[in-house]
Structure 1
Amino acid sequence: MIGFGKAGKAVASVILQHPDMELVWVLRRSDVLEKRSVAEFLGVSPATGTDATIHSIEHVDIEQFLDEYPVDGIIDFSPASGIYTYGRAAARRGITIISAVSHYAEAEKELLAELARETVVFWSPNITLGVNYLLFAGKFLKKIAPWADIEVVEEHFKQKQGVSGTALKIAEALEVNISDINSVRAGGIVGRHEVIFGFPYQTVRLIHESISREAFGNGVIFAAQNLKGLANGLYDFEDILLPYFSTGKN
């Protein structure tokens, strides 16, 4: 895992407690927790019995590091610039990249596409399963009723700056003007997104609320499990959710 902020810590905790997943290492910029046990720091017992160690990116050569500590995939909860630190080295080794970075500039998006020619790359600004189901369902409803009025509301903790990456993605997918996104900043709200479809005689509301950041961990595990065996390429949640929307009538 790259990054060990609030979301990274929550995801690490979920992975450590999953019987089919193994967290090998955490790489972060600060050296404050360097060489510490992740499980010990988080106060959890690894389900597989294998613990992970925290390393500082300031003290490693990424090429040597990835050879010394080989992994199947890298989960990125770092700032947007983090992809430049490990991206090409990971792609050359065929390591799956799962990015949960909220915002990427065009340059980073182009780099993701470049890396996807060598390995499996997955990017989701919000990696919770529920919010991506909301997005998927919203697109279906818009297709059914393109004339409905649509409003997007996003709520987050007081300190969060700017419009959430998830709200921007929802607005883009549903063709809602970014300036029309309604943002609320209050208290310690982890994250709440609502899409309101206004019909003449009824209203449909699609709501997703993150109760805790551990929800990101469930999304990471779902993505990792569904990316297995896929060809090199750039994927998002829609790609791995689509097969589940087949009714499979017999």
Structure 2
Amino acid sequence: MKIGLFGFGKAGKAVASVILQNKEHSLQWIYRKTNRLNSRDAAEFFGIESNDPGHFYSEKKQDIEELLEEHPVDAIIDFSSQEGIYAYGESAAKKNIKIISAISHYSDKEIKFLHKLAQKAIVFWSPNITLGINYLLYASTFLKKIAPSVDIEIVEEHFKDKKGVSGTAIRIADVLDVKDEKINTIRAGGIVGKHEVIFGFPFQTVRLIHESISRDAFGNGALFAAEHLINKKPGFYKFEDLLQPYFKV
């Protein structure tokens, strides 16, 4: 699968590295706001042996319509920003390019726009695209069904400079139908990401914990999504839609 990448921050870099080392997929390009890396390619940047083009392109020098025309891809993986979808969404949907978004927070406006794009193309969104956290979500849902009146607390830990409440924690709260006040936030050092769901019973406690050891987990999750969207019809998909077949008894 030919892949284009939006966003080259900490998570975007990790995702690019994972794609470059995967022989089943090819990183065609990385689209950025700045043009500082335009003369280089991603494999050279990371010092990785790869035949992927992985060229850097800047919105200052290359229009997205031209880029998609000259360097077509099967899927776009987005680790840019909340507003990034507006830069490429319409163009990608028009060309039936799969949109795989891993943006932590979207407002109702962006979510509405994603659903609009999904009328024409495959659109996937996961606030946390790691496989492990989505397994945790599934397990939490099952436990809540067994004990609907159980006390639930959510703890999320991230690196010191991360702003706002974790989008993943908000997603967990939504799925379990608990209020946002039940989310406890910790910011310290360089914690990549840790989420814990505590189920408090009268005489026992169950804790489900997921911890990201490396941001490479985002890359593995993004490729999992890309591979499981290959034969899907246009529509709006979440991670649970891809995992559901594996949980059938």
Q: TM-score, normalised by structure 1?
A: 0.96
Q: Secondary structure at the match of 2:6?
A: coil
Q: Secondary structure at the match of 1:59?
A: coil
Distance in 2, matches of 1:114 and 1:42, equals 37
> Pairwise CA RMSD of aligned residues?
0.8
Q: Secondary structure at the match of 1:230?
A: coil
Partner of 2:18: 14
Count residues in correspondence: 245
Q: Which of 97, 100, 104 is the equivalent residue of 2:99? A: 97
Shift of 1:246: 1.4
Shift of 1:58: 1.7
Q: Structure 2 matches for 1:188-227, cutoff 5 A?
A: 188-227=190-229
Distance in 2, matches of 1:203 and 1:17, equals 41
Ranges in structure 1 where 5+ consecutive residues have no aligned partner: none
Shift of 1:180: 2.1
Q: Which of 235, 239, 244 is the equivalent residue of 1:237? A: 239
Shift of 1:114: 0.4
Q: Secondary structure at the match of 1:58?
A: coil
Q: Which letter does structure 2 place at the counterpart of 1:229?
A: N
Percent same amino acid among aligned pairs?
60
Q: Secondary structure at the match of 2:26?
A: coil
Q: Which of 29, 35, 38 is the equivalent residue of 1:34? A: 38
Q: TM-score, normalised by structure 2?
A: 0.97
Q: Which of 216, 230, 236 is the equivalent residue of 1:228? A: 230
Q: Which of 43, 65, 69 is the equivalent residue of 1:67? A: 69
Q: Which of 8, 24, 43 is the equivalent residue of 2:47? A: 43
Distance in 1, matches of 2:192 and 2:53, equals 28
Distance in 2, matches of 1:35 and 1:76, equals 22
Distance in 2, matches of 1:42 and 1:6, equals 13
Answer whether contact 2:43 2:52 (CA < 8 A) is retained: no
Answer whether contact 2:198 2:206 (CA < 8 A) is retained: yes
Partner of 1:142: 144
